[in-house]
Structure 1
Amino acid sequence: MGKHREPEQPEENGVSHYPASGEEGGVGKQGMGRGKLIAIIAAIVVVALVLLQVVLYLASDDEDEAGSAPETVASESASEESGPKSDAFVDDSGQQEHEYEAAPGEFKGFDGMSVGIDGEYAAVDPVQVTDQGVLLPPHDVTRVGWYSASAVPGEPGNVGSSVITGHINYQGQGTGYAEKFTKLKKDQEFTVVIDGQERTFRVTEAPYRLPKGSGFPDVVNDKEGENRLVLITCGGQFVGGALGYEDNIITVAEPVGEPEQPAEQPAGEAPAEAPAEAPAEAPAA
């Protein structure tokens, strides 16, 4: 992104200057010498023109070949960028800094949720789409967001998909909990805890990248099929600005068996609530 330096312009009429033919003593041997010089210069000019034509011809061939290559590369590139990329690459050369505020949603029928991967848990906040139709996770990267218009994770029946999203990182905060989404492997299990009830999920589609702006897969907005949990975060090449990263990273999982019921509370004691601030070190109870 350095400044482009303009090439220096040649001097006006950039040619060498020779003595004028009308100078005193400019006849005789000097005239003959000048005649030979003109003949030599003319021959050199002819040779130079021939060479120039050859060079231009070769350059033209090169340009024709080079001109067709970028079209092929560009079309291949566009085709690759418009579809899924079967990896979860995350460029670590920068961190997101464009500030957005998530649109708050609400829990309906329960009071708290957390997600646990590899024994580490994060609190889940309910979020909605913004007025611009964008689903944003909580600004706090230690938390993630459940799209409250989607199904409750682990609900039985044809309730459709559940969606949980989180920031991969953020300047001043560092790496987000959602980075764990990108490390999941196919058939790996993790949990979602709702009001103390642990629900186990198994990864059916390992994390893959999808260019932002290309639209989400149908599973994200499914309202009628059996429950699947879709985890979404950012990844791919870091481009900065409002976009942050050029891709979304998608992971899909499905419930395993029936939800485990929470342990019974002793009489007279209220059940503990899900963590409200920092991510819990154990399932929310």
Structure 2
Amino acid sequence: MENRKRILITGAGSGFGEGAAIGLARLGHKVIAGVQISPQVTPLRKKAEALGLQDNLRVERLDLLDPYDVEYALTWDFDILFNNAGMGEAGPVFEIPVDLVRKNYETNVFAPLHLTQRFVRKLIDQKRPGKVVFTSSMGGLFTPAGYGIYVSTKHALEAIAEALQDELRPYNIQVQTINPGAYLTGYNETMAENPFRWLDDSKNVTKRADMKAVFDSLLGTPQGRLDPAEMIEAMVQIVPSDTGKFRNVLPQFVEDMLKEHQTKAWSNQI
């Protein structure tokens, strides 16, 4: 295959990450699939073998919060870092425990930033071109009630990626974001369950039933349960490409909604 890339994908144990790892390997790219926990390693290795992709799809444990995993990952040879790993804490911003906020930022912002800094410095020192791609979100560009903390981490990634694009251009290192809509991978559904670990009707202003109604209003509609195959197909084209848009929002109706939302933000009244 011409222009075959060597790609590290974080958060490849499920959802978009797993689908993109398999899709990119099928296209002939050399993929390292980093999965968060050891029990995810063998099943994905077996899946790669069953699909005949074992030569192109290498599976390794890569917990971004484990410094030993990160140091080991930096010894691997890859041209593209696809920062896909993430987690979500939802619930009312005015009541969510701050330790959960810190945890969400550690996983979604600080850990991928640290890995990215180390990766791009390696490229710069070796005078090699490369690329960094971040899985952001439609939520990186607007803030629905109930999801403020999670999407604020994606807002942070948007700012980081935009700055990196300008900073790294002189070194021939490209930067992109991918901004999925509400695709049905289980990620959003699990995030919507997280507040019920701590929301207590006897203590919190926000009641559990009201919070559930907020989540159901988004995730209970067809627009909140999109087929992830569409997004995965786009990812396997965007990530290895040498050209393309900086920001990549799918599906189109979400991009249209975000543009309308950003225009209306200028006339938003308190």
TM-score range, shorter chain: under 0.3
TM-score by length of 1: 0.21
TM-score by length of 2: 0.22
Structure with the larger strand share: 1
Structure with the larger helix share: 2
